[in-house]
Structure 1
Amino acid sequence: MNVKPQIDEAESNALMAPPFLTEGMEPLQELAERSARLSDLMDRLSELAGDAAARPLARLQRELEESEPAITFLGQVKSGKTTLVNAVAGWSDLLPSDVNPWTSVVTSLHLIPGETRSEIGACFQMMKADEWDRLVQKGGRLGELADRAGAGDEMEKIRQQVEELREKSRRRLGKKFEMLLGQEHDYGYFDKELLERYICLGDDVFEDEDTDTGGDTQGRFADITKSADLTLHSPTCPVPLCLRDTPGVNDTFMMREQVTINAVRNSRICVVVLSAHQALSSVDMGLIRLISNMSSRDVIIFVNRIDELRDPENQIPEIEASIRRVLAENNGPEGADILFGSAWWANMVLSDSIDEKTESTAARLSGMSDRAKNPGQHGYSAAENLWHLSGMPALQRAIGNQVVSSIGNALLRRTATSMATIATGQQAANKVMISGDETETGLTMQEIRRELEALTKRHLDAMHSDLSDVTKNYRARADRAHINFVDRATHSLITHLEKVGAEHMWEYNPAGLRMLLKSAFSVYASRAQSVTRKNFEAATEELAGFYFRAFGKAVEGVQLSVPDVPEMPAPVSLAQSIALDFNDGWWKSWWRRTRGYQAFAKRFRSLISAETEEFMARVRDTQPDEINADLIGAMTGFIEQNRDVLYEIGNSRGDKDGLQRLCLGAGEADRVEQLEEILKELQAYAAMPDMEPADHG
């Protein structure tokens, strides 16, 4: 479904960014400049390269241009995530903050650098029929869990809630309800009304209204919208970024939990948004489980709503100490950045709506501002002061540093290394072209193709075999951890019944299972990287020998570097809730209905085995399969790139009459000199280490 823009571009909501709004963007600005320079080098190299070399260069250029680091914002419902995402995007009224608590929408903002703020387009994905059926027929995961536990009362409550949701959706959508499932709606624009129609809570449609024509009703598609993607120009963002606003992890049917986990799996950087009044309280255990499986370098914790604190200067250190204590107690990421601020203040600055009370508060708290403490930084406006107090410069800098160190530098280095191979291969092609048939070679182009095909199959088969062994060992270890966990939990249950009796409810923390699985995954990830590195080295060594066998001394200058092993994603699926994470509701009902020690043990084993089946499948099977596919893809891409270089060199042979040698002259000498200049710059990029960028604070 495509809809043309309904507004003129000149009428788009544009706003030139005041200079202070870009404070903290220095790391991203440097990344943008380095990326632009590398792109220029690629254009120059493409002009000098032949047709075969142009293909891999075009692929590298595409990868560089399409790079869009994703930052996922996590937190509870009403923690201020959406307000903070608006502030980071530099658009105070972009996303509505009253997102429908019934929906499970991940909203992605695709920011494209631009001089003015403007909307480009929107895409909304509807829930698929099977996803809706699972919710309606089984009450989602929570309904399935209650059903397995025999908690009839809880299941009936969930069923009634789902029925209410379905009837509300039918009243809104009428006969089109089933037709809309699985659809994708594309628009060449977006505005507040459009967003409210898809992702915000709306009023029920009364029976006398025409449900088939009420397209502008607020919340019309909210109940069946699964995801929203908005594309816009941002005057403050120097590189393309994707900001993902996720639903809260606490919800009635546990729908949001899974879509949030999936969003995190597709991001390297997460901003955890907490409320200053209840930072990491007991109801945030799902959030704690999620971030405890991530590295501290991938997590930024932003404590929002400091504007609501009575004594922020004294309360902030206490809150930070409390957060670090809770993280330590729950094996959370050590050393994660913890920042404080107010998304509300930031949006007041962006909307130019600072009132006298807020300005007075900002003046009183100016001592908290690093900007105010720096010598020589006097005379800035109330807006600048409030912007700094909002925490936005610190957050933007933290995001920028992580983007550069974990994604940007690696991309530039990988791209430059591949370009260096192409450039040196082009130098070798020039030598072959100039020397004609006098080049020593024992391989024809037909032989090169045949042997390269065999080389490719040999190394891909070896990598498949090595990764298969590593994965098999991981899965066996994960299964043992699962069985041991169920055994220990059952033993604990029986001991409780023998010592305390059934009148006191038993609790058992499943953190042990997650720790064992996390340890098993860590070993798998390390071994998968190790065998991938070994296979990369073996392929590089054989390719180097193959170059020489095919073309002799003409290729002595070709640079082949062992590819970087892709980073391993965090096992965030471990955060999925399982039966023992609950201590009320259906769990109490299950406990009350069970009688007899053996019945307890038997039913418990059956419940936990069924409940953890999906959990184990994701952790044990789905994620390793995805990782292995990415690693195999990296090997395939590396060999394909060298295939193009080999073909370019091979196609430069055959100058029997020496006509090319007579015609090249000074022009070829200039071409060779340009290649050497490009290669020097590429070598500097390729040698760029993975390290934290300079602190611009």
Structure 2
Amino acid sequence: MNMQPQIDRTTNIHAAARPANLNAGMEPLAELATQMAELDGALEALAGQTGDKAQRTLLRLNKELAGFEPCITLLGQVKSGKTSLVNAMGGWADLLPSDVNPWTSVVTSLHLTPGDARVETSARFQFMTEAEWDRLLTKGGRIGEMAGRAGAEGELAKIQAQIEQMRERSRNRLGRKFELLMGQTHEYEYFDKNLIERYICLGDDFDLESGMEGEDSQGRFADITRSADLYLNSPTVPIALCLRDTPGVNDTFMMREQVTIQAIRDSRICVVVLSASQALTSVDMGLIRMISTLKSREVVIFVNRIDELADPANQIPEIEASIRQTLDSHHGPKEAEIIFGSAYWAGKVLTGELEEMQGASGAALLNWAKVGLAAANPDQSPQDMAWALSGLPELLRSISNRIVKDLGAPLLARVASSAITMTTGQQAAHAVMIRGSKPGAALNMRDIETRFEQIVTSQMAALEDEIDAVFDAFRQRADRAHATFVNRATHSLIDHLERWGEACVWEYDATGLRLLLKSAYSVMTSRVQATALARYELAVQEVAGLLYAGFGTAVEGIQISVPEAPTVPSPVALGQTIALDFNDNWWSSWWRRTRGYKAFVKNFQQLICGETEDFMTQLKQVQTADTRASTLAGLQIFFEDQRNILMEIADHCRQDQDVQDLFASQGQQQRQDITQAALTTLGKYTA
């Protein structure tokens, strides 16, 4: 369902003010943008020198380069200032609402595009599907399911009452449209703050005043909105970026936890936002579990709200030590980078209200300046100094370096390698036409094509069998880890009952299960990558051998690169909350319902199997299926490119074709010069 724009595009939000160093920290991205432009120029130069078949490869490479949009997901404590930080990172002080109750399960993605070009869609809002809504209504969401398994009738009754209240509120707001909206999408050619609040902010429970349009009420669609995508241009970002704001990991129905997990899976960089006043404590175990599934390279911790500290210069080292101790105690990423700052300070700079800063925040800024500006340029303006002290430049630099190293450089190498293979294949095709294939070659063109397709079939089948074997081994190991955990926990339960009886409530930590599964997943990841790389190398060898057997020395110049091994996403599903993570009245309720040693054991085993079924399925089925698809796609794309080269050679093997026709638009030497210049450029990114 598409919604037509109701107001003029001039209502789009623009920054109120900008410091001179707003793009400080994004220098690595600026260099990456220059490299991408140079590579794009080389591809464009080659476009006029290739045949129709090779153009397919160029088109794919152009799309891959143009579609590069690194995604940075922000997650953290509720009220830690994630949304304010997203606004500051995007260069807008008040773009996304940051002062409302985030009850909805909405992940908001801010898509930033360099320059001032108009985008076709400025806002897209996706509603929950009927299945998601039905799960919420009939089972109370994930937490309702857990309450039912644990026998927490009191908790379940509260959840059902809240769901009923939410359903009635939604029906009152949406009327007959309520059922029709499920699974639909609303798109706009503009967005402003009012539009955003209509979809992603809870809003108040009130009766619309006379004459007030229901469509414009705050929070009208909030209860059923699943995700929001906002598109706008930014003069500060050098490349396209996606900033993904998650509404938290702890909520009444645990719907936000699920969409947050999916958001993390879809990105390679995660910014964990903490509040300086509470840092990282046992209250944040849900957040800690989420972080623990990621690698240190994938995590940047931003400690926000240092403007609320009385003595930042002395308190910040203590807070950092506390955070690292907590991460170490709970098996988190020990080498994660920790950055301190204030989105509030950044916002004041952007709005030009630095002089109007609250007294305590201003004092904290001056206190932090004694440490943070030790090597600063004394000629900087107050706005630039405050921007540097806000931590935004340091955060952006950390993110930029990760994007360049982990995403940008591999992209450039991958595109350049494929382009080189295509170009050298084109040159070989010309050589075959001019000089002919190897004298006395036993293979004709039809034989070569037949053998090539046989190679494709056999190599694809072999790769499927090999990675399926890796996944089968992983599933068996995961099942053994699960069974081992259940056995250990059961023995611990029996021991507790024998020692203390049924009057004392027993508790058990699920960390051991997560560590066992994470270890199994890590082994699987290494084996998948090693298996894929070995099969990719064999495929390259067979294709190269076939080309030489068919065309001899005329094709020796083709530079066939080995495809890049797939990146396997982290097992973020392990961060999902389960009943064992609640050491409170949930377990007391479960304990009171159970009587007798055998009943304790049986009910516990049923409970843990039901609780872990979801993330076991995610690990064993969903994530392996995604990895399988990407692994096979890598080899499939390689073969498509080689097929295009082979078809190009076949076209040039027509002996009745006039050689001069190939160079009708320009001289042969000029054509070779352009190609060689492009190859030189491409070679810079494959070294």
Shorter-chain TM-score range? over 0.9
Are residue 368 (structure 1) and residue 371 (structure 2) matched? yes
CA-to-aligned-CA distance 1:31-88 (integer Å, 9 cap, x gap): 1000110000000011111111111101100010001111000102211100001110
The letter of the residue matching 1:553 is: T
Partner in structure 2 of residue 146 of structure 1: 147
Cα distance in 2 for residues equivalent to 1:280 and 1:210: 48
Shift of 1:406: 0.7
Q: Who is 1:693 aligned against? A: none
Contact 1:171–1:207 (CA<8 Å) still a contact in 2? no
Aligned match of 1:466: 466
Is 1:105 paired with 2:91?
Answer: no
Aligned to 1:537: 537
**Aligned positions of 1:512-591 closer than 5 A:** 512-591=512-591
Q: 1:433-452, aligned counterparts within 5 Å? A: 433-435=433-435, 441-452=441-452
Paired with 1:657 and 1:580, the residues of 2 have a C-alpha distance of: 74
- Mapping for residues 610-689 of structure 1, pairs under 5 Å: 610-656=610-656, 660=660, 667-687=667-687
- Structure 1: stretches of 5+ with no match in the other structure: 688-697
CA deviation vs aligned residue, 1:292-315 (integer Å, no higher than 9, x gap): 111111100000000000110000
2:452, 2:350 → 1: CA distance?
58
The 1:439–1:670 alpha-carbon spacing in structure 2 relative to 1, beyond 3 Å, is farther
Deviation by residue 1:182-230 (Cα, 9 ceiling, x = unmatched) = 111111111011000000121224388799x611110000000000000
Change (3 A) 1:99 1:632: farther
2:596 and 2:285 map into 1 onto residues whose CA distance is: 32
State TM-score, norm by structure 2.
Answer: 0.96
Contact 1:75 1:273 in 2 (8 A): yes
Matched residue SS, 2:354: coil
Seen in structure 2, the aligned counterparts of structure 1 residues 51 and 657 have a Cα distance that, compared at 3 Å, is closer
Partner of 2:46 in structure 1? 45
Aligned to 1:273: 273
Paired position in structure 2 for 1:695:
none
User: Structure 1 residues 515 and 662, CA, compared in 2 at 3 Å: closer, same or farther?
Assistant: closer
Contact 2:304 2:341 in 1 (8 A): yes
Task: Tell me which residue corresponds to 2:167.
Answer: 166
* 1:288-307 correspondence to structure 2 within 5 Å: 288-307=288-307
C-alpha separation in 2, matches of 1:538 and 1:169? 58
1:455 deviates by 1.2
Please tell me the residue identity of whatever aligns with 2:365.
A
State the one-letter code of the partner of 1:103.
Answer: T
After superposition, the Cα gap between the structure-2 partners of 1:111 and 1:479, relative to the gap in structure 1 and judged at 3 Å, is same
8 Å CA contact 1:359–1:382 kept in 2: the answer is no
Question: Does the residue aligned with 2:652 lie in a helix, a strand or coil?
Answer: coil
Residue 187, structure 1, aligned to residue 194, structure 2: no
Over 3 Å counting, the alpha-carbon distance change for 1:625 and 1:615 in structure 2 is same
Could you tell me how far 1:673 is from its partner in structure 2? 2.4
Call closer, same or farther: CA 1:33–1:499 in 2, change over 3 Å. same
Deviations 1:400-457 (A, max 9, x none): 0010011000000000000110111111122123335887654444333322221111
Mapped to 1, the partners of 2:191 and 2:226 lie a distance apart of: 17
CA separation in 1, counterparts of 2:565 and 2:56? 23
Distance 2:86 2:276 in 1: 17
- Partners in 1 of 2:505 and 2:460 — Cα distance? 54
The number of equivalent residue pairs is 683
Task: Determine helix, strand or coil for the equivalent of 2:202.
Answer: coil
What residue identity is the alignment partner of 1:272? Answer: V
Shift of 1:143: 0.8
Deviation per CA, 1:611-632, whole angstroms, max 9, x where unpaired? Answer: 2111211122211111111101
Moved more, 14-23 or 55-64: 14-23
How far apart are the structure 2 equivalents of 1:351 and 1:215? Answer: 30
Counterpart of 1:529, as a letter, is: Q
Looking at structure 1, the residues matched to 636 and 217 of structure 2 have their Cα atoms a distance apart, in angstroms, of: 50
Q: Which amino acid aligns with 1:672?
A: Q
Residues 19 and 208 of structure 1: is their aligned pair in 2 closer, same or farther, counting only changes over 3 Å?
closer
What SS is found at the alignment partner of 1:20? Answer: coil
Change (3 A) 1:315 1:683: same
What is the percentage of aligned positions where both structures have the same residue? Answer: 53
- The AA in structure 2 aligned to 1:131 is E
Distance apart, 1:583 and its partner CA? 1.1
1:542, distance to aligned residue in structure 2 (A): 0.3
| Cα distance in 1 between the residues matched to 2:246 and 2:598 | 43
| 1:151 CA displacement | 2.2
2:144–2:253 Cα contact (<8 Å) kept: yes
Q: Give 1:248 deviation, angstroms.
A: 0.6
Give the partner amino acid of 2:188. Answer: Y
The normalised TM-score by structure 1 is 0.94
**Structure 1: distance between partners of 2:526 and 2:609:** 29
Distance 1:20 1:549, change over 3 A: same
Q: Give the C-alpha shift of residue 25 in structure 1.
A: 0.7
Q: Please tell me the root mean square deviation across aligned C-alpha atoms, in Å.
A: 2.1
> Partner of 1:234 in structure 2?
234
- Within a 5 Å distance, the mapping from 1:106-125 to structure 2 comes to 106-114=107-115, 121-125=122-126
Q: Distance in 1 between matches of 2:370 and 2:521?
A: 46
Name the aligned partner's letter for residue 141 of structure 1: R
Q: Given residue 71 of structure 2, which amino acid in structure 1 is its aligned partner?
A: A
Amino acid at match of 1:37: E
Helix, strand or coil: the match of 1:686? coil
**Greater shift in the superposed pair: 352-361 or 598-607:** 352-361
- Counterpart amino acid of 1:581? D
TM-superposition CA deviations, 1:358-416 (whole Å, max 9, x none):
556534432222xx3227x1121211111111000000000000100110000000000
Match of 1:692 in 2: none
Question: What's 2:481 paired with?
Answer: 481
> Structure 2: how far apart are the matches of 1:658 and 1:168?
76
